[in-house]
Amino acid sequence: NKIKESIRMGHTFLGEFFYEKGELNDALKQYVRTRDYCTTSKHLITMCLNVIKVSLELEHHLHVLNYVQKGEQTPDVQQDSVSMDKLRCASGLANLANSKYKVAARKFLQVSDELKDTYSDVIAPQDVATYGAFCALASFDRSELKQKVIDSVTFRNLLELVPEVREAVYDFYASRYASCLTLLDGLKKYLQYDVYLHRHVETLCRQIRERALVQYTIPFTSVVMQNMAVAFNTNVDALEKEIASLIAKGQINARVDSHNKILYGRQANQRNQTFQQVEKAGDEYEHNSEAILLRASLLQYNLVQQASVGGKAGFMKHRGELD
């Protein structure tokens, strides 16, 4: 064990040396070699986190997800909340890089405020709150946003570190879309230089705006587009183009009266829906009734099915013959 520990420490020191020199591929090789010499769960977690750190900088995101999974399967890691938070952060960053915003949001939202500055060489707590909030706004529906963001005590503590992001989330949930989008535009100027988010900030802001437009139209059968334009701090012509694009994508089920500038929601035919539900209920009732009658007949004539010695189902026999 002492020999193994010496070899493990040697590879770790070499990995740190190459990492500080900026030779990331050589650092990755050294960190991976420590795996065969790990003797405790703590050693395995350290190895996984070192590999993850270098792989994130190399943008080997599939490698990151593989080692996150290995780290989560390490014995006793569930009792180490800080290590679990680090693995969740790494998984969130890898999914963010792969544009899987909903998965990334769920990973960031699971991070507790115990992380603090223990992972500052990869991600700061403020960044966890920012990335989690942006991904959640872009991908969550209203109920999921309330349950996992607004009502989450642990994530709310992280949001307190970035007041602008916190206010944007609350404004979005309270349907104060003009205020929310103004805050996001201000944040976007800085996030365009963020090491992880710069490639995604435009896409995320666009998806947040589209989701806001969709949510605004849901409660109404008709919307005066002039009022909607004021709510989104834009003009009617630009808003009409955005609405038409969302209708074409199937995200808004409505039609636009371009002359009167009114958006009319397409109401489902309640009569047809009712008939379809009744027909479906009737088919289910008929199927269940036939199954009950068949079982009753089998019990009435004492018919049972006997399994053969090989484990396959045999033929039907009368219970009296079995006796």
8 A C-beta contact, residue 126 and residue 157: no
- Paired residues of 183 in beta bridges: none
Query: Would you state the pLDDT for residue 62?
Result: 92
Q: Where are the beta strands (DSSP E) in the chain?
A: 222-224, 254-257, 262-265, 303-307, 313-318
DSSP state of 311: S
8 A C-beta contact, residue 90 and residue 56: yes
- Phi/psi at 227 (5° precision): -65, -40
pTM to 2 decimals? 0.77
| Interior/surface letters 60-76, b for 16+ CB within 10 angstroms, e for the rest | bbebbbbbbebbbebee
Q: In a structure prediction context, what are the per-residue pLDDT tens digits for the chain, which is 323 residues long?
A: 788 889 989 999 999 999 999 999 999 999 999 988 888 889 999 999 999 999 999 999 999 999 999 999 888 888 888 999 999 999 999 999 999 999 999 999 999 988 888 999 999 999 999 999 999 999 998 889 999 999 988 898 999 999 999 999 999 999 898 899 999 999 998 899 999 999 999 999 999 999 999 888 888 788 888 888 888 888 888 888 888 888 888 888 888 888 888 888 766 556 777 888 899 999 999 999 999 998 888 888 888 666 555 555 454 444 444 44
Give the type of residue at 5. Answer: E
Token pair of 233 as six digits:
């701090």
Helix (H/G/I), strand (E/B), else coil: 250: coil
